[in-house]
Amino acid sequence: MTESIKKKEFENQRYDSHTDYDNLLRIVNENSLPTITLTSLVLGILIGISTALLPSVSFKQILLYVILLCTFHFLEYYTTAKYSFDKVNTDSFLIFNGFEYLLAHTIAITESLIEIIFFPKFKLGHAYISIIGFLIVLFGQYLRSMAMVTAGESFSHIIAQSKKNNHKLITHGIYGFARHPSYAGFFYWALGTQLLLCNPLSFVIFYFMLHKFFSRRIRYEECKLVEFFGDEYVKYKKTTPTRIPFV
């Protein structure tokens, strides 16, 4: 009986070692060191240049926008690598996050440049809006990063199609405040950047784009979560809001 148990334990350990090796091999293959290094370098250079130029520019908000944007993308990779190592890859920076994402930021920067040229008084005369926007960005970044830290191995940038052994329903910490804190965090982060820039047009565009995206994504993801966790998730959903308006 004892020998049988030892044999089973040995087989389980051997299976775990093979699984760990396969995961490590996948992580190495999906994480090109030159790509990671170059991406981090470019983000750091942009942050450094923007910070250096801040004292000499009248409309500082656009440089703050670049700093916050680069910091966001760096933290996406860093936090994933530290707390959800088995899922990290070069795409974890989320820089190439779809055509709509790149288009939205292009529109935001374009609107800022046009308005600072043709309506400088409007851009420079509402500092309090920019301050509020900056604080909202920090709040959104906190929500997003804390969601990733709290969820740990259960966090993923991609919606899971099947339940894995390490997939747990997280309801404590920041997940007791919002049932999708990473989504809520990005929602407020993105809208905060447009208040920071005093971009009325982009603010409206961002709101409707984000609302449409997260409404669909949350609806689909929650169907999978009910499938994975059953009544446990149904009860959690009833008691914990998304913190995203009308979602």
Q: Note the pLDDT tens digit of each residue in 81-118.
A: 999 988 899 999 999 888 999 999 999 999 999 999 99
The sign of the dihedral angle between the CA atoms of 155, 157, 162, 164 is: negative
Q: How far apart are CA 223 and CA 61, in angstroms?
A: 40
Report how far Cα 61 is from the mean position of its chain's Cα atoms. Answer: 22
**pLDDT at residue 33 in the model:** 85
Banded model confidence at residue 136, pLDDT cuts 50, 70, 90 = very high
Whether 130 contacts 198, CB under 8 Å = yes
* pTM of the predicted model as reported, rounded to 2 decimal places: 0.88
**pLDDT at residue 11 in the model:** 45
**pLDDT at residue 220 in the model:** 97
**pLDDT at residue 237 in the model:** 97
Using CA atoms, how far residue 141 sits from 53, 73, 105, 185, 187, in Å, is 23, 11, 17, 6, 10
Banded model confidence at residue 31, pLDDT cuts 50, 70, 90 = confident
The single-letter code of the amino acid at 107 is I
Which two structure tokens, joined as six digits, stand for 202?
Answer: 């982009």
Dump the DSSP string for 129-187: HHHHHHHHHHHHHHHHHHHHHHHGGG--SS--SS--TT-----SGGGGT-SSHHHHHHH
